[in-house]
Amino acid sequence: MIIHTLPTPLTQFLWNMFIGIALVITLYTCNFYYLVFLARQKRKTTKSIELKEIPTVTIQLPIYNEKYVAARLVNAVCAQDYPKEKLCIQILDDSDDDTFHILEDLVNDYQKKGFDITHVRRGNRKGYKAGALRHAMTFAKGDFVAIFDADFIPPSWFLKKALSYFCKPEIGLVQCRWGHVNEKYSALTMAQALSLDFHFLIEQKAKSNSHLFMNFNGTAGVWRRECIEDSGGWHTATLVEDLDLSYRAQMKGWKCVFIPDIVVDAELPVQMNAAKRQQFRWAKGSIQCAIKLLGDVAIKKIPVDTKVQAFVQLTRHIAFPLMLVQFLILPILLASKINLYIISGLPALTILAYLAMGPLVYIMIIRDMYNTSWKSKILSYFYMVFYSAGMSVNNTVAVFDALFGKKNEFLRTPKFGIINKNDDWRDKAYALPFTKTTLLEIFFGVYGIIGIFIAIFSSNPIFAPIIGIQVVGFFYIAYLSISHSASRKGKSRNIPVVSSNQRMASAYYKFAMGGIMGLIIIGVVMAFEEYSTTIYPIDQARGLLLRIQATSDPQAIHNDLKNVMILLPKSGNPVWIFPTEDTDFGLMQGDLQTMLGTVDKISSTSPDSAAFHAGMLNVHYQASAIVFNLLDATPYMYVSISNILFGCIWVAVIIGIFTVLKRKRERLRSYDLEDS
Supply the residues annotated as catalytic: 94, 242
What does the alpha-carbon distance between residue 126 and residue 489 come to, in Å, rounded to a whole number?
A: 34
What does the alpha-carbon distance between residue 278 and residue 493 come to, in Å, rounded to a whole number?
A: 31
- Burial annotation 431-450 (CB, 10 A radius, 16+ → b, else e): bbbbbebbbbbbbbbbbbbb
What does the alpha-carbon distance between residue 639 and residue 636 come to, in Å, rounded to a whole number?
A: 5
What does the alpha-carbon distance between residue 556 and residue 548 come to, in Å, rounded to a whole number?
A: 8
What does R_g of the chain's alpha carbons equal in angstroms? 31
DSSP sequence for 380-403: HHHHHHHHHHHTHHHHHHHHHHHH
Q: How far is CA 333 from the centre of its chain?
A: 24
Distances 524 to 35, 387, 445, 530, 638 between C-alpha atoms, Å: 42, 23, 10, 10, 14
Pairs from 514-517 (Cβ < 8 Å, separation ≥ 24): 515/657, 516/442, 516/482, 516/654, 516/657, 516/658, 516/661
Residue 281: CA atoms inside 13 Å, Cβ hemisphere, count? 19
Start-to-end CA span in the chain (Å): 68
Helix (H, G, I), strand (E, B) or coil at 88: strand
Q: What are phi and psi of 149, to 5 degrees?
A: -75, 170
What does the alpha-carbon distance between residue 671 and residue 520 come to, in Å, rounded to a whole number?
A: 30
Strand-pairing partners, residue 61, are: 91
Q: What are phi and psi of 540, to 5 degrees?
A: -65, -45
Is residue 94 a contact partner of residue 132, using CB atoms and an 8 Å limit? yes
What does the alpha-carbon distance between residue 295 and residue 297 come to, in Å, rounded to a whole number?
A: 5
What does the alpha-carbon distance between residue 178 and residue 136 come to, in Å, rounded to a whole number?
A: 24
Q: Is 397 exposed, middle or buried (0-12, 13-18, 19+ CB in 10 A)?
A: buried
What does the alpha-carbon distance between residue 39 and residue 204 come to, in Å, rounded to a whole number?
A: 8
